[in-house]
A and B are shown apart, each in its own frame.
Chain A
């Protein structure tokens, strides 16, 4: 069993929190994990990604080999396309449909959607809307984690526990908002796919 996940987004969108939640859940299931992160200059409003590798056997490379990723989980549609070389043929592309427009030449959203729809296994989620409805726009990353949960080989209960652990420091209200967002994302994925 292995799940190789490329997490993608823009600096500040909380992809490292997604990585941390999946990591915690995977630790609970006694899986081997490697998680590479991007630090430094590119964090500042630029493209950010993380490779997360879960397996029941030891993991060698910190980077996912090209063409072998099982899942691209992106909090931003343009960013979801940047890492397609890592996705295997039957892999899933799960992305927020709402663009983060901080560059002057941001493509038309319809063009991006067309490219995303070329991937046979794709799931477009309006995470911003769902997060707002769940009580916090900031939790869009957890909506996306929920939407991608069916494609990650750790249990949904352990993911939810991980979210609780991760946000416990910030108080009960923040925990509940994030759990609610996670569940709403999961529900959305269940309805669409």
Chain B
């Protein structure tokens, strides 16, 4: 099979006999769920595979399935784990019944993200095993091993992907599928009740498992220590960085001791073995200097440790074979430069996109108040920050547009406006709107509703057709929930509606609804293909 890393994870999970896959879309993790959704095996096996409203609800539902004794996988991008951090950390205390695999795709270099946080820290924070594949085949295999570890120790296991694994294809050889598990309650029906008296005991159990997690990592087939006869330098290559190192020595003839590290917690035994044999160490890792930090902090450190912290490698951004080769002291030629004439081509709104009509009208409606009053959010509409629109002043995290507008209004910035998409609204905007209603905040929330989670490819959103009802249910006054159609022909009318609601000194919501043009085009194409058949 020729699979993306994401697809290898999905196929691995289907073959490992999952009964449920839970996720909220986010680059570079989206294709995991999409593959499970498209899988015939998953359909025939009745694997639960609908998108969740956000990563927290996904994590909790997965934990619930695990409670029922079945294998569950939950997938998200790195910042999604921030949203799901509460159930994630607490699931390590409750432990699991059926295997629970948490798959998180990091985005170093921020190709499509707000930061480049390294999820291995979350694994360490949660004190659970972490698996970090260096290839698509390893990604496939690690899912199976991850479920086995999860059930063996009764804890969730974290799989950490990065963009270049998630979105790169390679051949994957699948294994024989496992059977799906039957419904089976936990032996102890109080296991999941985290009252302090119970949680204390559960936490001690987690702590007492730490040394076996580490022993497992020391013996793991995913970790590999190669000590050479005459080498003086040692290289520790974590996850994907192993490939970048090997790319520089395709015949395997590297002149140093090497530790390939893909299974955490950091096995002290292996680290000590390479440290003792080496005069200096180079640490190669995608993301933050997670391991380097540990090594630099060794109390008895008497040998140089090189990596991202001492400038041997860049402190931020992705690694690549060239950077790694340079860090290993190889005589590499300077690559060509990019000609000065090569201007960037940033992403743009699709022709005919409804968000454009929203911003054109909003910019005019806001003219009388001056710039700097529009808070926005995560989605295609974040492109409204770029010229020629320059329409928004924030993009922080899912849902922050609504709550930041509330806070800014508290600070005296009246009126304050929020622009949020429909899927982001149901992800994390609804609770903020409830805050706004309760304090009668003078804010206007524009929900630019294109009936889709469009930026990640048009997944079905949680609020489909229910946005106005949700707003009314949260207590927004009926006469201040307005619906407009963002089309050029409605421009004048839309400006008026916006002006009226922005002027109102309480909470108002404008639902600007028009289907995503891409999804519309796809739907028409499919309909045409259908009628031809």
Alpha-carbon separation in the docked complex, A105 to B349 (Å): 17
User: Which residues of A are in contact with B by a Cβ distance under 8 Å?
Assistant: 10-11, 23, 27, 32-47, 51, 57, 59-63, 65-67, 78-79, 81-82, 84-87, 102-103, 105-107, 111-112, 115
Nearest CB in chain B to that of A11: its residue: B347
A40–B27 CB distance below 8 A: yes
Given A44-B380, A45-B350, also A27-B2 (CB < 8 A):
yes
Residues of chain B from 332 to 364 with CB closer than 8 A to chain A in the complex: 332-339, 341-350
Distance in Å from the Cβ of A124 to the closest Cβ of chain B? 15
Residue of A nearest to B240 (CB): A62
When the two chains form their complex, are residues B341 and A103 in contact, meaning their CB atoms are under 8 A apart? no
Residues from chain A with Cβ under 8 Å of B320 in the complex: 61, 63, 65-66
A105 near B343 with CB under 8 A, answer yes
- B28 & A67 in contact (Cβ 8 Å cutoff): no
A51–B171 alpha-carbon span in the complex (Å): 15
Whether B164 and A63, one on each chain, are in contact in the complex, defined by CB atoms closer than 8 angstroms, is yes
The interface of chain B, by Cβ under 8 A from chain A, is: 2, 4, 27-28, 30-31, 111-112, 164-165, 167-171, 240, 243-244, 246-248, 250, 320-322, 325, 332-339, 341-350, 380, 383, 455-457
Q: Are A33 and B380 in contact (CB under 8 A)?
A: no
Closest chain-A Cβ to B105's Cβ sits at a distance in Å of 11
B167 touches A39 (CB 8 A): yes
Q: Which residues of A are found within 8 Å of B348, using beta-carbon distances?
A: 44-46, 102
CB-based A-B contact count at 8 angstroms: 141
A14 to chain B, nearest CB (A): 15
Q: Are A82 and B342 in contact, with the CB atoms below 8 A? A: yes
Q: Would you call B321 and A65 a contact (CB within 8 A)? A: yes
Once the chains bind, are A45 and B2 in contact (CB under 8 Å)? no
Choose from B171, B321, B335, B343 the contact partner of A78 (Cβ within 8 Å): B343
Which residue in chain B gives the minimum CB-CB distance to A47? B345
**Complexed CA–CA distance, A135 and B457 (Å):** 30
**Complex Cα spacing A8 to B250, Å:** 26
Beyond the given A39-B112, A61-B320, please list 13 additional residue pairs across the A-B interface where CB-CB is below 8 A: A35-B169, A42-B347, A61-B246, A61-B321, A62-B164, A63-B321, A66-B321, A66-B322, A67-B336, A102-B345, A107-B341, A111-B341, A115-B341
Q: How far is the CA of A46 from the CA of B455 in the complex (A)?
A: 13
* Residue in A27, A35, A41 whose beta carbon sits within 8 Å of that of B112 in the complex: A41
Q: List 7 A-B contacts (CB under 8 A).
A: A33-B171, A34-B169, A34-B170, A40-B455, A41-B347, A41-B380, A65-B320
CA distance A45 to B343 in the complex (A): 14
> Contacts A41-B455, A44-B349, A63-B164; is A107 near B247 (CB within 8 Å)?
no
Least Cβ distance of B402 to chain A in Å? Answer: 22
Contact among A38, A40, A47 with B344 in the assembled complex (CB-CB below 8 Å) = A47
Nearest residue (CB) in A for B319 is: A63
Tell me whether A38 and B335 are in contact in the complex, defined as CB-CB below 8 angstroms, given that A60-B243, A61-B244, A112-B341 are known contacts: no
With A46-B346, A63-B164: A82-B338 Cβ-Cβ less than 8 Å: yes
Provided the pairs A39-B27, A85-B338 are in contact, do residues A62 and B165 lie with their beta carbons within 8 angstroms? Answer: yes
CB distance from B76 to the nearest CB of A (A): 14
Contact in complex: A85, B336 (CB < 8 Å):
yes
A40 touches B456 (CB 8 A): yes
Tell me the minimal C-beta distance from A28 to chain B in angstroms: 12
Complex Cα–Cα for A40 and B514 (A):
21
In the bound assembly, the distance between CA atoms of A146 and B246 in angstroms comes to 33
Q: Are A61 and B247 in contact (CB under 8 A)?
A: yes
CA of A46 to CA of B167 in the docked complex: distance in angstroms? 17
Would A36 and B347 count as touching, CB distance under 8 A?
Answer: no
Q: Is A43 within 8 A of B341, CB to CB?
A: no
Contacts of A107 in B (CB 8 A): 341, 343
Nearest chain-A residue to B344 (Cβ)? A47
Q: Assess whether A41 is in contact with B27, with CB atoms less than 8 Å apart.
A: yes
Q: Closest Cβ of chain B: how far from A46's Cβ, in Å?
A: 4
A105 CA to B336 CA, complexed, in Å:
24
Set of chain A residues within 8 Å of B164, measured between Cβ atoms? 36, 62-63
Given known A-B contacts A37-B4, A63-B321, A81 and B111 have beta carbons under 8 A apart? no
Q: Which residues of A contact B112 (CB under 8 A)?
A: 39-42
With CB as the reference atom, state the residue of chain A lying closest to B134. A60
Contact present for B27 and A65 (CB under 8 Å) = no
Q: Is the CB of B342 within 8 A of A65?
A: no
- Among B165, B337, B343, point to the contact of A85 (Cβ < 8 A): B337
- Partner among B168, B325, B342 whose Cβ is within 8 Å of the Cβ of A36: B168
> Which of chain A's residues have a CB closer than 8 A to the CB of B339?
81, 84, 115
Q: Is B30 in contact with A45, judged by CB distance below 8 angstroms? A: no
Q: Which residues of A contact B346 (CB under 8 A)?
A: 46, 103
Task: Known A39-B31, A61-B321, A63-B320; judge A78-B2 contact (CB<8 A).
Answer: no
A6 to chain B, nearest CB (A): 12
Q: How far is the CB of B31 from chain A (nearest CB, A)?
A: 7
Known contacts A32-B171, A66-B335; is A79 also within 8 Å of B250 by CB? Answer: no
Neighbouring A residues of B165 by C-beta, 8 Å: 62
